Structure 1
Amino acid sequence: MEQTNSVNADPAPTSDRCTKGRNWTGFWVLGLCNNFAYVVMLSAAHDILNKQEHENSTSSASVTSAHGLQAGNSSNSSVYDCNPTSTAAVLLADILPTLFIKMLAPFVIHRFPYGYRILFCALTAAASFFMVSFSSALWMSFLGVILASISSGLGEVSFLALTVYFDRDVVGGWGSGTGGAGVMGAVLYSGLTQLGLTPRVTLLIMLVIPAAMVLSYFFLLVPPPSMPQWSTKDPPCASLCSEETQGLMDSAEDEDEDRTAPGRAVMVKGPLSFTEKIQVLKGLLKFMIPLGMVYFAEYFINQGLMELLYFPGIFLSHAEQYRWYQTLYQVGVFVSRSSLCCFKIRQLWLFALLQILNTVLLVFAVAFRFIPSVWIVFAIILYEGLLGGGGYVNTFYFISKETEERHREFAMALASVGDTMGICLSTALSFPVHNYFCSL
């Protein structure tokens, strides 16, 4: 009889494990697909600008003379072999729309069901690949980059908020997937172009990614009944947690070590007021400020300094060096964003401090050119990615853990403004730094 009871009791835990596994995998794929176009546009930044500058140089002799271009070379006068336009210009187009979306969306996005949001994200990502692939002018390339930014920004806000309807472990899946996007995007772009495919063909091959996003969301995830898929009327509190969602979250909290913590807030029905949202924002600053500092430092490296860390006369061309810098950075991001299953670091300011020190080192390396080998720069860029990914995934894990259930969906969506703001500030600094060194 005992054996029979044991056998009969097995299917439920097995089904629960299967559901958790599907949801973790689903968020991993969604994280990968959401960040893929964004990563590819940054990896292609040097090629996008070089292509347009080359076309400009061959179509107008006066433009060639003004920029000092000969036979399509981006710069013959600077020891840094710079494009006349900094790769930060691509980053600016890639991040400004994301910033506006992240600042505004948490206050209004609950009016749009998740299903429609995900379809819109997939369509704009596909359009970005098409636009950049077939661009014949710089403005078309930048429009494609902007579409990728819209897709990534809206997707990040939506998917981070969506995690509150599932087991908390999916935050780790999402973080790992976004790191995987960096590796796959950079490696595929670098690898396929190195094999001889043109950037246009490479970008068209990547149209499979938006399709994978749609398939993963609609067929791989096992959503709870409370999730507002196609309608905001059910549940009535779609912008936050409904009573059903709250029940799910309470069940998950019962398994947490801090479920009996004193002073636990009691759930209040209804959506958050504007005053409550401002209070949540104030409480998030301890997470958003260090995250913003981490991203300010690392994107200043990526788009302000990386193109300038050029070693002439080696086995890699300048374009290839830039691509592999981006690839190694993304490898570091992937490893650290996948680290939640092994360890967690609550000291978020540590990531910011170490990344700033990294930036100072590379600024002096660009200015005085004292690093003797590209392999040393490869190691530093890999370390930079480890710090950036670690800061991101630990920030959102501890926001999920330490925020009240009633505020969690709004907090997860809003906190992503921190990294985007840091990237925007780094872009503003990258332009004058690029121009200064390229004028030498």
Structure 2
Amino acid sequence: MSGNQEVIVASPITPHPPPKDRKLWRDLTAYWILGLCNNYGYVVMLSAAHDIIAQFQDETTDDTTTVENEGEDTRKCHLVSTGAILLADIIPSLFVKIIIPFLPFWVNFKILLAVILSASGFLLVGFANAEWMALLGVVITSASSGIGEPTFLSYSSHFNKNVVSTWSSGTGGAGVIGSLSYASLRALKVSPRDTMLIMLFFPALEAVSFWILLRKPTIIPLTTSALESTEELVTDEKPLTGFKEKLVYIKTLLPYMLPLALVYFFEYLINQGLFELVYFENSSLSQASQYRWFNVDYQIGVFISRSSVNLYKINKIWLMAVFQFINVAYFLTEVIFFYTPNIWITLVIVLWEGLLGGGAYVNTFYRMSKEITPGRRRFAMAMVTQSDAYGIALAGFLAIPLHNAMCALPPAYRKVVW
């Protein structure tokens, strides 16, 4: 009789595959939108940095100057490197990301706070009547993104692993949609204030996606028979409890964190320290226009690669860091010697730079969704989101002296411009 009971207990586990989840599209779509909305404000604030600062400057002053050397040779440079704006947009996010993994996982409270801060950031920048108010808006928007990313990625451990790929694709889409939407509205002569008010749509969309579109996960407790029929639960998979235990566990995450941090360090050293100094004089585009298109081109590369993990997977993230370092060498020598004969060559390299950055991000978190045990994945995801912020912040600090050093050089002239 006991033998028959054993057969009855085991039989539901093997004969039939689990039914197809016909509403999975809701989770995948919601995570794409959440990725878009979470990073949208960050991208917009970088795109709007010039306008945010310029509206409080004396109309008689110019935000560009020429750095004099011997004789009449000069280089056109901005007085302040865009690295300074980058720091205001990344440091608050970094501080929040450092704290978040060690706090209780109150997902609804954290997302509510992120939505409120995002909307407040747009309002502060839009209605600012002093420079400090505008900068506070940038800081608040950065904090919103810093709360959202580790929270959403930690929460993804309760869903199908493919929500990580749609989240990554959404964050890549934020780069393209954010930069293009801001540039388009400004091209249509919409004021900076009205532009920021229009963008309040995105915090509202984030709230709808999280609380209405995304399904609430159901965590089914494991039965004794289920435990006997699977090998998923082992001692190492117990959830981490306590500050000390989490701190010790961080060292196991370094293989994910270090390559990602390096990729983003090299990437943003290019974007914020060197991009604005690459200039093709005989192009039909102005220097400011070339800079904007370099950034749009970069964001397209990021979007493509962040959306590609289900088609092509890369495990050796350190290899992307090596390639990104080669990109730094190219842009550094290009700024010094101006040897590239055609702007299209530089645009291809910029696209490659974006592909590397987005690929490193999505493949890191996708690997974690498969390699890290469910009990520890929530904390691990939240911790590794700090990696890109460390790299970006360090790049912001170094981009300022690098920018100044490049501006102090005598100008170079292209002998061939097609």
8 Å CA contact retained: 2:253, 2:384 = yes
Code of the residue aligned with 1:202 in structure 2: it is: T
8 Å CA contact retained: 1:34, 1:156 = yes
Secondary structure in structure 1 of the residue aligned to 2:326: helix
- Residue 158 of structure 1 and its aligned partner are, at CA, apart by 0.5
Secondary structure in structure 2 of the residue aligned to 1:81: strand
Structure-1 separation of matches of 2:261 and 2:301: 18
Aligned to 1:393: 362
CA 1:194–1:117 in 2, change beyond 3 Å: closer, same or farther?
same
1:140 aligns to 2:140 (yes or no): no
Q: How does 1:30-45 map to 2 (within 5 A)?
A: 30-45=34-49
Aligned to 1:8: none
1:155 aligns to 2:148 (yes or no): yes
Code of the residue aligned with 2:154 in structure 1: it is: A
CA 1:176–1:436 in 2, change beyond 3 Å: closer, same or farther?
same
- Residue 50 of structure 1 and its aligned partner are, at CA, apart by 3.9
- Residue 273 of structure 1 and its aligned partner are, at CA, apart by 2.9
Structure-1 separation of matches of 2:312 and 2:325: 23
Map Cα deviations across residues 372-420 of structure 1 (whole Å, 9 max, x no partner): 3332222221111100000000001111211122211000000111111
Code of the residue aligned with 1:278 in structure 2: it is: L
Question: 59, 64, 76: which one pairs with 1:74?
Answer: 64
Aligned to 1:284: 253
Secondary structure in structure 2 of the residue aligned to 1:416: helix
8 Å CA contact retained: 2:154, 2:382 = yes
8 Å CA contact retained: 2:240, 2:376 = no
Q: How does 1:370-389 map to 2 (within 5 A)?
A: 370-389=339-358
Structure-2 separation of matches of 1:214 and 1:44: 24
Structure-2 separation of matches of 1:188 and 1:366: 29
CA 1:49–1:438 in 2, change beyond 3 Å: closer, same or farther?
farther
- Residue 225 of structure 1 and its aligned partner are, at CA, apart by 3.6
Structure-1 separation of matches of 2:122 and 2:340: 36
Aligned to 2:91: 96
1:417 aligns to 2:386 (yes or no): yes
Secondary structure in structure 1 of the residue aligned to 2:77: coil
TM-score normalized with structure 1 length: 0.82
Question: 7, 11, 17: which one pairs with 2:22?
Answer: 17
- Residue 351 of structure 1 and its aligned partner are, at CA, apart by 0.9
1:184 aligns to 2:177 (yes or no): yes
Secondary structure in structure 2 of the residue aligned to 1:75: strand
Structure-2 separation of matches of 1:109 and 1:89: 33
Aligned to 1:164: 157
Aligned to 2:413: none
Secondary structure in structure 1 of the residue aligned to 2:285: coil
Code of the residue aligned with 2:202 in structure 1: it is: I
Aligned to 2:215: 222
CA 1:245–1:288 in 2, change beyond 3 Å: closer, same or farther?
farther
1:327 aligns to 2:331 (yes or no): no
1:315 aligns to 2:269 (yes or no): no
- Residue 278 of structure 1 and its aligned partner are, at CA, apart by 2.3
Q: CA RMSD in A?
A: 2.4
Code of the residue aligned with 1:140 in structure 2: it is: M
Aligned to 2:243: 274
CA 1:195–1:302 in 2, change beyond 3 Å: closer, same or farther?
same
Secondary structure in structure 2 of the residue aligned to 1:125: helix
Map Cα deviations across residues 267-289 of structure 1 (whole Å, 9 max, x no partner): 54x65233331232111000100
Gaps of 5+ in 2: 1-17, 69-73, 410-418
- Residue 246 of structure 1 and its aligned partner are, at CA, apart by 7.0
Structure-2 separation of matches of 1:272 and 1:260: 22
Secondary structure in structure 2 of the residue aligned to 1:360: helix
8 Å CA contact retained: 1:47, 1:319 = no
CA 1:199–1:324 in 2, change beyond 3 Å: closer, same or farther?
farther
Aligned to 2:15: none
TM-score normalized with structure 2 length: 0.86
Percent identity (aligned): 45
- Residue 166 of structure 1 and its aligned partner are, at CA, apart by 0.8
- Residue 172 of structure 1 and its aligned partner are, at CA, apart by 0.7
1:405 aligns to 2:374 (yes or no): yes
Secondary structure in structure 2 of the residue aligned to 1:200: helix
8 Å CA contact retained: 1:290, 1:348 = yes
Structure-1 separation of matches of 2:258 and 2:175: 23
Secondary structure in structure 1 of the residue aligned to 2:117: helix
Question: 354, 357, 376: which one pairs with 2:326?
Answer: 357
- Residue 322 of structure 1 and its aligned partner are, at CA, apart by 2.0
- Which stretch shows the higher mean deviation, 303-312 or 41-50? 41-50
Aligned to 1:86: 81
Q: How many residues align?
A: 385
8 Å CA contact retained: 2:67, 2:77 = no
- Which stretch shows the higher mean deviation, 113-122 or 280-289? 113-122
Secondary structure in structure 2 of the residue aligned to 1:153: helix
8 Å CA contact retained: 1:80, 1:310 = no
- Residue 315 of structure 1 and its aligned partner are, at CA, apart by 2.5
Code of the residue aligned with 2:390 in structure 1: it is: M
CA 1:38–1:166 in 2, change beyond 3 Å: closer, same or farther?
same
1:297 aligns to 2:266 (yes or no): yes
Structure-2 separation of matches of 1:378 and 1:45: 22
Aligned to 1:128: 121
